A and B are shown apart, each in its own frame.
Chain A
Amino acid sequence: MAAPIKQIKLNKISEVEWQIPKGEVPGMNVPGLVFASDELVQRMRLDRTLLQTANVATLPGIYKHAICLPDGHEGYGFPIGGVAALDFKEGGISPGGIGYDINCGVRLLKTNMTVKEIRPKLNELVMALFRNVPSGLGSKGKIRLKSRAELEQVMKMGARWAVEKGYGWKKDLKHLESEGELKVADPKHVSDLAVKRGLPQLGSLGAGNHFMEIQRVDEIFDEKTAKTFGITGKDQVTVMIHTGSRGFGHQVASDYLREMEKAFPEILKKLPDRELIYAPAGSDLADKYLKAMSCAANYAWANRQMILHWVRESFEKVFKKKAEEMDLEVVYDVAHNIAKIETHKVNGKKAKVFMHRKGATRAFGPGNPEIPSDYQKVGQPVLLPGSMGTASFVLVGSKTSMEKTFGSTAHGAGRLMSRHAALKQWRGEALKKKLEEEQKMVIRSASWKGIAEEAPGAYKDVEEVAKISDKAGIGKIVARMRPVGVVKG
């Protein structure tokens, strides 16, 4: 491919932790901290994951270290699986530290049914989900908002907007990160083009790696915590939803990348990578971007809330029972592409920061006021989706994650193979058949190409990612689920 990649020096700290010493790239303000096994480090060395982590360490006002999580892989600007806390006054906010799909995230639902009970109707259920939740290219929401004013309500209220419109239950909100609503959002900083892209797509799954999955609980590792989250036994049926803010968020990100480049050419010149551009703390653009990005985050929470409602409707239709009777409730909902204002303890002092998590999940420990009251004692659930056909995990945040990673851990399996290579290796039709025959899965997708690109073998082993998170203590393993039915975007 292109020019050889600069090799980054790593000092091993523990079995699963590595330090990138300051000075590995010029201008690093802090060291890098990488969570990986020996094997995953070798993988990271094949692309720019480690270099990008070191580059992040050059950002101003960064605290402690630039972090790369075990699912880390090359992104643009930040690696995917990157975490950085930049001081609220001396630092800044960087779209490259969030990603284009603002508040791409995961929602997990539980039921009181077992896989045995649903198996006879699995086909019907997957078909109902495929029909009820728009997915794939050109997927439009079923309700079409007509004006900017209407969409502004979504931008301001997030998931609460959806609940007030009849999508889901009020108590769902308690089990969403930030209760599905960032109050700092201000629609006046969102462009008309973003609105145009966002209007038709609200209430749709989209494409790419986005999916809905019917799962069965495969193993419980921490019974007490699992029970607190409503995960009570093997073979219990759960549902996972993975999507984000659609074209709306992509446009907000593109808009502000351009604005920041224009406004800060001097910063741009000094940066090791154009896509690390940031708006310095205190600048007008930092304020505007935070508020616009929060609008996109709220859009995503409203989107997942609407999809939840259609999942409930699909279950009701297929099983001819009320969602309440099936205990079809939200376990939790996490954002894994986001920046937020948070306060963290650094060297015994409180620091207010722009907390960047790109392909990283918040993992707050027990007692944190940000997590729901019923989870206070055990910590925040962390949802780690696997790739199609492989397991997903529920982890829990801990005291250690608060200390080591600003309360963050991995977000999924992380790609191993390019989409292009995956397309060469697998054909969608054959792969679907294989998964359906060997694993008794039911799969529906808008695109064959999508299935091949998202083949399980194209991803890092999610088990390995979860184990490293557990070993490092930054997200302890609670339960593992396996897919039985998949709707791919």
Chain B
Amino acid sequence: MKKYEFLEHTADVFIVGNGKTLKEAFQNSALGVMQYMVDIKTVQLKIQKKIKAKGSDLKSLLVEFLTQVLALHDAENLVFSKFKVTKFDDKKFEIEATAQGEDFNAKKHKQGTLIKAITYHEMEIKKRKNIYSIKFLVDI
């Protein structure tokens, strides 16, 4: 199982986050988002941030969660290479997670492409052979 994958779309890009549990698929979706923006192999674990999000269904929970990740990047100039979901409620659609990484440094980190927003376009949350896959389009 690949943690995350990138698939084609004319203007933007699909990210797929995979996991043995939904929780893990959410974690790996966040990792995919980060990898698209920066080579996460170059990101060290120096700072830890808490992320909380709430949705009205699974899809909106994912959008809210990943939007918080983008907001942390924009607001505090951070990049992350590890996410851990600490609370996952798929009845109330609430999530809590920690994100670990460091300050973005253009000299140290190999840049990818900035993601502007997470969209609902063609979003799929599927379970196949015990693997959960979340596919979502990001706006570049």
Contacts and interface: CB of A to CB of B under 8 A. Distances in A.
B104 A196 contact: no
Q: Return the 4 tightest CB-CB contacts between A and B, nearest first.
A: A247-B74, A76-B121, A207-B114, A418-B8
Contacts of B111: 136-137, 207, 446-447, 449-450
B139 A76 contact: yes
Contacts of B10: 47, 73-74, 415-418
A482 interface: no
Contacts of B118: 254
Interface stretch (B19-27, B40-48, B59-67, B80-88): B59-67
B74 A137 contact: no
A5 B120 CA distance: 18
B11 interface: yes
B8 A207 contact: no
Name the residue among A76, A101, A193, A247 with the largest chain B CB count within 10 angstroms.
A76
A275 B116 contact: no
A201 B74 contact: yes
Contacts of B73: 138
A417 to B, nearest CB: 7
A51 to B, nearest CB: 12
B112 A449 contact: yes
28 contacts: A1-B7, A1-B8, A73-B11, A74-B9, A74-B11, A75-B11, A101-B139, A137-B104, A137-B112, A196-B71, A199-B75, A200-B77, A206-B114, A208-B113, A208-B114, A208-B116, A246-B74, A250-B70, A254-B67, A258-B63, A258-B64, A262-B56, A416-B10, A420-B6, A420-B13, A447-B111, A449-B112, A453-B140
Interface of A: 1-2, 47, 73-77, 80, 99-101, 136-138, 140, 193, 196-197, 199-201, 206-209, 246-247, 250-251, 253-254, 257-258, 261-262, 274-275, 415-421, 446-447, 449-450, 453, 489
Given A138-B104, A200-B75, A258-B64, A419 B140 contact: yes
B111 to A, nearest CB: 4
Given A137-B114, A206-B114, A257-B120, 17 more contacts: A2-B122, A76-B120, A100-B117, A101-B116, A137-B109, A138-B73, A138-B79, A138-B106, A197-B70, A208-B113, A208-B114, A208-B140, A415-B11, A419-B13, A420-B7, A447-B113, A453-B113
Contacts, number: 126
B134 interface: no
Nearest to B111: A447
B33 to A, nearest CB: 13
Interface string B91-128: 00000000000001010010111101111111000000
A169 B121 CA distance: 42
Contact of B74 (A1, A99, A197): A197
Contacts of A261: 56, 60
Nearest to A251: B71
Contacts of B64: 258
B30 interface: no
B31 interface: no
Contacts of B109: 137
A452 to B, nearest CB: 10
Contacts of A419: 12-13, 113, 140
A274 to B, nearest CB: 5
B44 to A, nearest CB: 16
Contacts of A251: 67, 71
Name the residue among B74, B112, B117 with the largest chain A CB count within 10 angstroms.
B74
Contact of A100 (B74, B77, B139): B139
A200 B10 CA distance: 31
A419 B12 CA distance: 7
Contacts of B71: 193, 196-197, 247, 251
A199 B6 CA distance: 31
A1 B6 CA distance: 12
Contact of B75 (A197, A416, A449): A197
